[in-house]
Amino acid sequence: MNFEEFAAKPLLAAAGISVPKGILADNAKAAAAAAKTLGDVVIKAQVPIGKRGKAGGIQLAETPDQAFSHAEKIIGMEIGGLVVAKVLVEQRSDIKREFYAAVLNDPTSKGPAVMFSTEGGMDIEEIAVNTPEKLLKADVDIRLGFSLKQANELVAGLDLDGANAAIAEVLVKLYYVYQTNDAELLEINPLILTGGGDVVALDCKFVMDDSAVKRQAGLAASGTAEKLTELETQGEAHTIKYIELDGDVAVLANGAGLTMTTMDVVRHHGGNPANFCEIGGEAYTKAKIALEMVLAKPGVKSLVINFCGAFARCDVMMEGILGAWEELKPDLPVFFSIAGTGDEEAIRMLKARLEMDPYPDMDGASKAAVDAARLAGAGS
Amino acid sequence: MRIVRKHHRVLVQGITGKQGTFWTERMQDYGTQIVGGVNPKKAGTVHCGVPVHASAVEAMDAEGGFDASILFIPPLGVKDAALDAIKAGAKGICILTEHIPVQDVMYVMAAAKERGTLITGPNTAGSVTVDECFLGFMPAFNQRIFRKGNVGVMSRSGSLGTLMCQNIVSAGFGQSAFIGIGGDPIIGTTSKDALEALDQFDGTDAVVMVGEIGGSMEEQAAEYAATMTKPVFAFIAGGAAPAGKKMGHAGAIVMGDKGTYKSKRTALEGAGVTVLDTPSHVGDALKDALGS
């Protein structure tokens, strides 16, 4: 779960990391009023996505009038497919130097990593590619946490204009915020040194671990839910993972790997998947709702259903499919491949109730679905 | 241990639950040597024919102890259960649970590393040592999916790994062992670890690796594959997936140019691994390499 800058910065402030004074505004008038209070300001689009500056979503304003006109342009602007609904009006800082600081989950060390670079302002991928030697990393034993001693060692020897100790302290506080809030990524970019010698977090990116949202329920309420389509929202309500795509071959399978692969095989045979929809794990009893969802997407021309039972039983999934099919009676060509736990019973049910046989493998079923979609496309 | 054998003594934490009971019975039927279970509230009782202990530490103190533990435990209980097994001195722990907070997983990994405990998972369907034993919820007993043979199989996905195993059997081959490594971004047994374990496992003449987009585990496994003499075949799921979306598994996400299908395919092919376009191609590929 992503947190926008305005929702993430208070966490830093609460831990004692300096952030600029700011006021959130959802209209130009409010932005102008905020500028009147704060003086020289920066108007920043609030969307949980990078490259806001390049898209024109960050503007300087010296007067309330300027703040008004910038905010008017930024609110409603689209950045990376997201419409800007709010701006953060923030007191402008006197930037002397820009650094990069972050704490993240590192799959290689299987623990947290504290990252620091003197090359702030760019994104971490650019730093890693362009100047890898300038990206410092400290592996942390999560049982012990990140100590001031480790932080001091990380930045020792760097020319930070005398701010080494202050920056080490920020890193320790940053780790604390990461750890207490179940972050998977907590990044300050840039972390600045002001002309007056203060260390200030000018931006903050906070991504909460989706698996921790339940135990962080209070904080999660101020996070930004992923932008979902109507069908995707419906899927989430039923704990079925459904992702809407732009093709016309509907896909339904059990398990993330198998579902992805069904999409791949559809693509391999020249087709375009209409969705990702999986009913793996405990969701395998929800085949009926899942089928209703994949059928609900407009423009779907064929359907491939691919079951490989392990934990999920093919016969239980088939019962759900047949129940929905008999109820909805969709006029849509459908192709099955069925294997694994409960497959023989599932195949018998398919034969008895839809008078159909499955294909011997998913390649056959997927190719048939691609051909059928093409035929339907040519006919319409 | 990364591959459980029939002489290994296995503890089931969460044995009395619905899934724990169902799969303990399947494992026992297949040959897994289940020596006990854990449920603090039912300590002292017998379940599935084995004693239920208050903790893994107590189970280790009981006669014969145990070698490996398998967890049928809900997400927020996994950290304590796994730490209990580590403290008890388990050699291996298999964690099936999905949606465990990642910081809990990292805590368990740090403790396991210190004690030399090998973790498989989280978010795995388990593992199968064909005709010996299995852990988790794998259809080991289905003869059309698992048959004794000389192909080692590893997979991030349970369903796709099962499909691959079925394709291998349909083509007239069989497996030595299957290791489900799990679909989470941070897991105990990585693709490289599993590849190495299968490479060194008796009776294995080829390895099939089922990976997926996200992370860089397949790239790291490729470095090991380059040193192998046995043929390796790989299928990577998610080539058609859009970037920036978690495809069902928490670990299956392309971020910018990281974790892409292309990066994995290039690395594996560079290491001499045959990358299959679809899972159905595995039969012909094995016939070419091993003869039919």
Question: For chain B, how many residues are written?
Answer: 292
Nearest to B110 among A142, A265, A310 (CB): A142
C-alpha A43/C-alpha A22 separation (Å) is 10
Q: How far is B228 from chain A (nearest CA, A)?
A: 22
How many Cβ pairs closer than 8 A exist between chain A and B?
182
Q: Is residue B131 part of a domain?
A: no
Q: Which of B89, B120, B151 is the last residue of a domain?
A: B120
CB-CB under 8 Å, B247 with A276: yes
Domain finish residue from B55, B85, B120: B120
Q: Do both B114 and B196 map to the same domain?
A: no
Decide if pLDDT at A125 tops 80: no
- Interface check for A331 against chain B (CB to CB < 8 A): the answer is no
Whether the CB-CB separation of B278 and B239 falls below 8 Å is answered with no
Residues of B in contact with A143 (CB under 8 A): 107, 110-111
Q: Within this chain, do residues B285 and B224 fall inside the same structural domain, yes or no?
A: yes
pLDDT in tens, B255-265: 667 789 999 99
Collect all residues of chain A within an 8 Å Cβ-Cβ radius of residue B192: none
Which among B30, B96, B98, B103 is the top mutation candidate for probing chain A, defined by the most A β-carbons within 10 Å of its own β-carbon?
Answer: B103
pLDDT value of position B218:
95
CB contact under 8 A, A310 and B113: no
In this complex, do B163 and A268 lie within 8 Å of one another by their Cβ atoms?
Answer: no
Provide the number of structural domains found in chain B. Answer: 2
Who among A105, A143, A340 is closest to B162 (CB)? A340
Q: How far apart are CA A220 and CA B162, in angstroms?
A: 36
* Mean pLDDT to the nearest integer, A127-143: 89
Print pLDDT tens along chain B (292 aa): 899 999 999 999 999 999 999 999 999 999 999 999 999 999 999 999 999 999 999 999 999 999 999 999 999 999 999 999 999 999 999 999 999 999 999 999 999 999 999 999 999 999 999 999 999 999 999 998 999 999 999 999 999 999 999 999 999 999 999 999 999 999 999 999 999 999 999 999 999 999 999 999 999 999 999 999 999 999 999 999 988 888 878 777 776 677 899 999 999 999 999 999 999 999 999 999 998 6
**Parent domain of B278:** 142-290
Lowest mean pLDDT segment, chosen from A56-70, A143-157, A229-243: A229-243
- Which tokens go with A167? 């920056």
**Closest Cα partner for A174 from A195, A197, A160, A155?**
A155
Flag whether pLDDT at A261 surpasses 90: yes
Whether residue B168 is found in the same domain as residue B266: yes
Quick one: B281 and B200 in the same domain? yes
Q: A216: which strand partners? A: none
Examine the domain organization and report whether B285 and B147 are in the same domain: yes
Strand residue runs (E) in chain B: 10-13, 34-38, 46-47, 50-53, 68-71, 92-95, 118-120, 126-129, 133-136, 148-155, 175-180, 206-212, 232-237, 274-275
Q: Do A363 and B280 touch (CB under 8 A)?
A: yes
- Are residue B89 and residue B198 in the same domain, yes or no? no
Q: Residue A53's pLDDT is what?
A: 85
Give A229→chain B minimum CA distance, Å.
13
Residue B130 covered by a domain: no
One domain for residues B51 and B190: no
Is the dihedral angle over the CA atoms B101, A225, A126, A169 positive or is it negative?
A: negative
pTM over 0.95? The answer is no
> Which residue in chain B has the smallest CA separation from A49?
B244
* Interchain proximity B101–A255, CB inside 8 Å: no
Do B52 and B161 fall into the same domain? no
We report the CATH number of the domain holding residue B70 as: 3.40.50.720
* B136 in any annotated domain: no
Mean pLDDT along residues A193-222: 95
Residue B265, helix vs strand vs coil: helix
B153 and B190, same domain (yes or no) = yes
| Paired residues of A44 in beta bridges | A58, A88
Q: What's the gap in Å between the CA of A36 and the closest CA on chain B?
A: 39
Chain B residue with CA closest to A216: the answer is B101
> Which residue from B110, B237, B242 is facing A143, i.e. has the nearest CB?
B110
CB contact under 8 A, A254 and B159: yes
Shared domain for B21 and B60, answered yes or no, is: yes
Rounded mean pLDDT, A1-16: 96
The pLDDT of residue B151 is 98
Lowest mean pLDDT among A77-91, A116-130, B82-96, B272-286: A116-130
For residue A24, what are the β-bridge partners? Answer: A88
What residues form DSSP beta bridges with A192? A98, A200
B263 within some domain: yes
Question: Is residue A123 predicted with pLDDT exceeding 80?
Answer: no
The answer to whether position B82 is within a domain reads: yes
Mark which of B120, B154, B173 sits at the end of a domain.
B120
Flag if A125 and B256 touch (Cβ within 8 Å): yes
Higher pLDDT: A239 or B106? It is: B106
Bridge-based pairing of strands B175-180 and A22-25 is unpaired
pLDDT digits (tens, 9 = 90+) for A292-343: 999 999 999 999 999 998 778 899 999 999 998 999 899 999 999 998 888 9
Residues B152 and B267 in one domain: yes
Domains along the sequence of chain A with CATH: 21-91 (3.30.1490.20), 95-220 (3.30.470.20), 230-379 (3.40.50.261)
Rounded CA-CA distance A305/A249 in Å is: 11
Q: What is the pLDDT of residue B265?
A: 96
Residue B92: phi, psi to the nearest 5? -140, 150
Q: Which CATH number covers residue B269?
A: 3.40.50.261
- Reply yes or no on whether the pLDDT at A27 is more than 80: yes
Q: Are residues B49 and B181 in the same domain?
A: no
What is the widest separation between alpha-carbon atoms in chain A? 80
Residue A252 has what pLDDT? Answer: 96
Question: Cβ of A268 under 8 Å from any chain B Cβ?
Answer: yes
Q: What's the confidence (pLDDT) of residue B1? A: 80
Would B125 be classed as within a structural domain?
Answer: no
Nearest CA distance, B63 vs chain A (angstrom): 32
Q: Output the CA torsion sign for A356, A360, A361, A367.
A: negative
**Tokens linked to B239:** 């080539």
Any B CB within 8 A of A285 CB: no
- Is there a contact between B126 and B69 (Cβ–Cβ < 8 Å)? no
| pLDDT tier for residue A117 given thresholds of 50, 70 and 90 | very high
Q: Does A329 touch chain B (CB under 8 A)?
A: no
Q: Does residue B282 fall inside a structural domain? A: yes
Q: Can you list the alpha helix ranges (DSSP code H) found in chain A? A: 5-14, 28-38, 64-74, 124-130, 148-155, 164-180, 217-220, 230-237, 256-268, 287-296, 314-328, 343-354, 362-379
Strand A302-309 relative to strand A249-253, pairing:
parallel
Whether A380 has a pLDDT exceeding 70, the answer reads no
Does the beta carbon of A310 lie under 8 angstroms from any beta carbon of chain B? Answer: yes
**Using the beta-carbon criterion (under 8 Å), do A258 and B101 form an inter-chain contact?**
no
Residue B1 lies in a domain: no
Enumerate the active-site residues of B. 249
Q: Measuring CA to CA, how many Å separate A78 from each of A9, A49, A52, A324?
A: 23, 11, 10, 39
